[in-house]
Structure 1
Amino acid sequence: MKIVIIEDEFFSAEKLTLQLHKIDASIEILAVLTSVESCLHWFRNNPEPDLIFSDIQLEDKESFELFHQLPIEAPIIYTTAYNQYAIQAFKQNSVDYLLKPIDIDELRAALKKYEYQTYRMLKKSHLTRPEKPREDYKERFLVKKGSGLTVIKINEIAYFKSEQKLSFLVTFDNVKYAIEPTLDQLTEQIDPKKFNRISRSRLISLDSIKKIHPHFNGRLKLELHPAEEEEVFVSRERVQAFKDWLNS
């Protein structure tokens, strides 16, 4: 298991490292980061870890700022001396919330929780979603365009994406429209032969894929049409389902 620790207190980071290695000697600590700025630099230049342990109050800002700025998919276990951040933490892909000083039994339980959630996600990604009758899938979307409305047909859509809790469709002409359904809802509404959920924030059409590149940590990097400003990846737990979709 590869882990990144986000912690600005040296002794807290050292103690957590020792506790993790006591639980599982094979755990690899990829980095210990002390500020949001250093985190932004590291995550932009390295593959994501399997798991993140993150304090909340860092040298420069709260760690929530990192996850607002970057679409990090790795699950997070928060470690903090304060309990008032719990609700906000669980909105940020949090597995657990541990109060300092960290009890090793609570740490062990949090790791078990992470392993169980990872197992469930892998199992779910290998299940074939029952197909609805062809006529039940959405064929068009009514969207706002300027001061009026327009209809976008499904074959005009390259991909769907979520940004800051809002959903959008992007056409092959590279026009983005806000839509009401969430990506979870769209995954059930769209023909799975034509679109695939490659991550929590992307649902892409087969025709939007230009190139596929193997990437670090078991992920796949995609070049899409139209191109995205940020890099687009198939998350590790969805890679096999994605390959099965391409082969179907």
Structure 2
Amino acid sequence: MKVVIIEDEFFSAEKLSLQLHQIDASIEVVAILPSVESGLKWFRTNPEPDLIFSDIQLEDKESFELFRQLPIESPIIYTTAYSQYAIQAFKQNSIDYLLKPIDVDELRAALKKYENQTYRLLKKGLRFSMEKPKEDFKERFLVKKGNSLAVIRTADIAYFKSEQKLSFLLTFDNHKYIIESTLDQITEQVDPKRFNRISRSRLISLDCIRKIHPHFNGRLKLELQPPEEEEVFVSRERVQIFKDWLNS
């Protein structure tokens, strides 16, 4: 396995390299990159590695900037001393988020997660190639707009919700529309990688999540964009599914 480490602290990078070699002697660290600038230069002239370990706060910018500028498809395991970046990290190709100092058992578990995900993707790819093309999901919804109708792109939808036996969608620019479909129907029509049913009354997009807070009785409290007047929760029975979705 070929690995790239994006880390501006020399001793942290060396320690991670040693831990990886202790877990699996076949792992080869092909580059240690201390900045976004060095990362851009390296990835533009070298083949992508099997896996990337990336700190977030580098010597010039946050590593997210590197992945915004280049379409890097390698999975990423983030290694950082800060927990507040977790949501943004999981919106990248992240398969795990390790807090420093890195525990070797957590590192081993993250590598196992990578191996399991790679196996699933390979298996899925073989299945799709032998069976049928990937399923198409709805790209737009027809909504009521006053006395007329309008078309809203799915990419512009922050979340869906039901109130008083009616279904609504809310766009990122904070417009609210009535739609005729039920939440059960919509859940089957949208891409499950982008939307998650957090409760019986709400289906949200990944990009509308701003903050996640642990809450009483095992639930999670969410801050969304656009914001809601009432508090928004992930129901207790859906919390693990929601976490797995973020980490998929």
TM score, norm. by length of structure 1: 0.53
Counterpart of 1:26 in structure 2 is: 26
Q: Tell me which residue corresponds to 2:96.
A: 96
Aligned to 1:119: 119
Q: Aligned partners of 1:6 and 1:76: how far apart in 2?
A: 10
TM-superposed deviation, 1:137: 8.9
Structure 1 residue 60 and structure 2 residue 39: aligned? no
Q: Which amino acid aligns with 1:22?
A: Q
Deviations 1:145-200 (A, max 9, x none): xxxxxxxxxxxxxxxxxxxx79xxxxxxxxxxxxxxxxx96xxxxxxxxxxxxxxx
Cα distance, 1:114 vs structure 2: 0.3
Residue 109, structure 1, aligned to residue 109, structure 2? yes
Query: Could you tell me how far 1:131 is from its partner in structure 2?
Result: 4.4
Change (3 A) 1:116 1:59: same
How far residue 16 of structure 1 moved from its aligned partner, in angstroms, is 0.2
5+ residue gaps in structure 1? 142-164, 167-183, 186-248
* Cα distance in 1, alignment partners of residues 100 and 136 from structure 2: 49
2:107 is paired with a residue whose SS is helix
**Deviation sequence 1:61-104 (CA, Å, 0-9, x none):** 00000000000000000000000000000000101000000000
One-letter amino acid of the structure 2 residue matched with residue 77 of structure 1: I
Looking at structure 1, the residues matched to 114 and 63 of structure 2 have their Cα atoms a distance apart, in angstroms, of: 20
Q: Distance in 2 between matches of 1:111 and 1:122?
A: 17
Root-mean-square deviation (Å): 2.4
Please name the residue that 1:232 is paired with.
none
Aligned pairs (5 A) from 1:207-246: none
Mapping for residues 1-248 of structure 1, pairs under 5 Å: 1-128=1-128, 130-131=131-132
What is the CA deviation profile of residues 198-240 of structure 1, one whole-angstrom value per residue up to 9, with x for unaligned ones? xxxxxxxxxxxxxxxxxxxxxxxxxxxxxxxxxxxxxxxxxxx
Deviation by residue 1:29-60 (Cα, 9 ceiling, x = unmatched) = 00000000000000000000000000000000
Rounded to whole Å, the distance in 2 between the matches of 1:116 and 1:59 is 33
> Partners in 1 of 2:113 and 2:131 — Cα distance?
28
Q: Distance in 2 between matches of 1:89 and 1:54?
A: 10
What is the distance in 2 between the residues matched to 1:105 and 1:82? 19
Q: Tell me how far apart the structure 2 counterparts of residues 131 and 98 of structure 1 sit (CA, whole Å).
A: 37
Q: 1:130 to 1:7 in 2, by over 3 A?
A: same
Identity between Structure 1 and Structure 2 (%): 76
Cα distance in structure 2, aligned partners of 1:93 and 1:33 = 18
- Paired amino acid for 2:57: Q
C-alpha distance in 1 between matches for 2:104 and 2:97: 13
What secondary structure is seen at the aligned counterpart in 2 of 1:92? Answer: coil
